[in-house]
Chains A and B, each alone.
Chain A
Amino acid sequence: MKYLNKSVLEIHELLKEKKIKPIDLVEEAFENIENNKELNAYITLNKEEAIKQAKELEDKEVDNILFGMPIAIKDNIITKDLLTTCASHMLENFIPLYDATVVEKIKSKNMIIIGKTNMDEFAMGSTSRTSYFGAPLNPWNKTKISGGSSGGSAVTISARDLPFALGSDTGGSIRQPASYCGIVGMKPTYGRVSRFGLVAFASSMDQIGPMTKNVYENALLLNAIVGKDERDLTSAEKETEDFTRLIGKDVKDMKIAVPNYFMSDIVNEEVKSAIKNTIEVLKNAGAIVDYVDMKYLDQAVTLYQVIALGEASSNLARFDGIRYGFSKENPESIKDVYFKTRQEGFGTEVKRRIMVGAHILSGENAKIYYDKAMAVRAAMRQEFKRIYKDYDLIIGPTATTTAYNQTDSLDDPLKSFLDDVLVNPANMSGLPGLNVPVGFDNDHMPIGMHIIGNDFEEAKIYQLASFIEKELNLDLTPGGEK
């Protein structure tokens, strides 16, 4: 009997009525993962502990909708006593001493951690191919990339292994693979979710967010992970709210902006046409959709390179082979410890980004690049704020194309940045953004729409996304409903 392809609400009812037990879900999840082994979605499975936990839950009251639900966690989120590798040789054997705040939160809901998902090394990449453990494959077509960096989380949800996954998003790493794999992925407002326990890539942009098969379940998981955390000074002081509360409401009179840049010739025609079709659906439902000009959007990649790589070069300095993680054997000097550990411990993409980051902050460059980028960043945020004076939401495509071949642009140092050109601005400006599937290209690869909200207006994003989801009613199970 299969349960995990049902909606979370249905599974919850079955658990409550004691028709199934958490262990049934856990076993099914591991079975699914085993069957989909070649997708390479996981780095580490938490089998023993998950089964133990599921059995312990049998005596407990089913007290919340996430109770007993299997969840997968991106492998750059720290899990106590459970290998956390960041898909890097550097942390291949690293066993953390504490739980990330989000992990504490999902444990307090009695969700069950099934495993740690594959990703780009230290979340640096847009394809998950920089993983030390090999790339995950796209369930819609195994010759295609999953997108990244949260590729493993996107793949396991898309393949319907289990209902919930966490990803992280610094420049699009939740939304872009969600788009490529045809799932729903939310990057919350910067500060909405605690970053304590998220291995930092670019601290001023990193956010953890939910990845699910549908909008409602996405909002449910976001409900569970938000909140002010005393351990993260950048987490926001916000009242808890129910992010599902606007789901089901219509979109009549909702004011939506489409920046012309998002529909310019940088975007593939098939993708554009799927977005246009969706815009027509929205207009027919009474939403007001305007095309607008926005400054600075075309600077997003450059801006991202300066700020993200500058911060990353500093954040990743701690991996030095002294206190934890990989260390080159038999060093002859302290120089050996540093240079050889980091040479062997990091992969090419990570090393390239660290070096560029060091260069950007070096000497006079800090002023020329970094200070300037912070000023452009401020201007870009102002530009978004200007639009939100007149509009509820901003939409566009999530990615310029659908998922491309595993073998494409392997050695192009710029490609991974360009893949995120449409999703970067939300990170730069701290705004929430979500991918919702809106169609397929001629090869039946999923196309996603990106919805960007004003600060802390995730609920409004879910309102629009769920409306689109319902109206389009796409079959989003790869290979069709099983």
Chain B
Amino acid sequence: MTSEAITHGGAMNPEGDGWVTPDGRHIGPVVLEVKNITLRFGGVTAIKDISFDIREGEIRAIIGPNGAGKSSMLNVISGFYHPQEGEIWFRGQKRPPMKPFQVARQGIARTFQNIALFKGMSVLDNIMTGRITLMRSNMVDEAIWWGRAEREELAHREAVEKIIDFLEIQHIRRTPVSRLPYGLQKRVELARALAAEPKLLLLDEPMAGMNVEEKEDMSRFILDVNDEFGTTIVLIEHDMGVVMDLSDRVVVMDYGKKIGDGPPDEVRNDPQVIAAYLGVSHE
């Protein structure tokens, strides 16, 4: 399916090298796999022995009731939390414990549930910060400015402008983020994550608190990002309609455990999942 050869153990890829979705998108081999992850905060176990994989080019949703451990899972992947047990395999290699910035350099970018932008800075500057991991000029270059730093800034600006165009936020390019409505701030956050040119994009509730129209816009952008840049996307979302429409496969969590994993239709009809969401008592 993909030309890129990825070396990995046979056990990691039981279903072969991927498939083609009904709408013509190519789902490739596994890029990231979490194996038997357990995360504890003191006596509280946030994540209990969870394993799943993420395939290249897919949109992978993580759903579950509040407090199920979804955001913690994302924080584990992004290197913010270090699980007590379990392994993370990225591109066929076991990942040693890493700092978030090291994870970012590997090509994993994220957005946050509570918007984490620099409020006083303009949209353009905020998105530029997303390119920091790609900048090569050092402090001396920056101080001299002419030459290397200037060339680099121009190249980065061009990349950022393409993202601004892509996400249709030209009209707020110079506006300080704090003056923007919530829905647009979310879009700016997505823009900043995209500026890092990630291979894997982690979206923590990209549509929380949005109205229907804003959700539709955001859904379209997520699909377009996936389609246009081939970015693999993991998203946490509560709106079931959105999850069912967008995602290729869904992981369902409840009380830190994985209770379901599969295509949206399958998951939707899983009695365990229904029980978790509707609060039906377990027999």
A and B together in one complex: no
B-to-A contact residues, CB < 8 Å: none
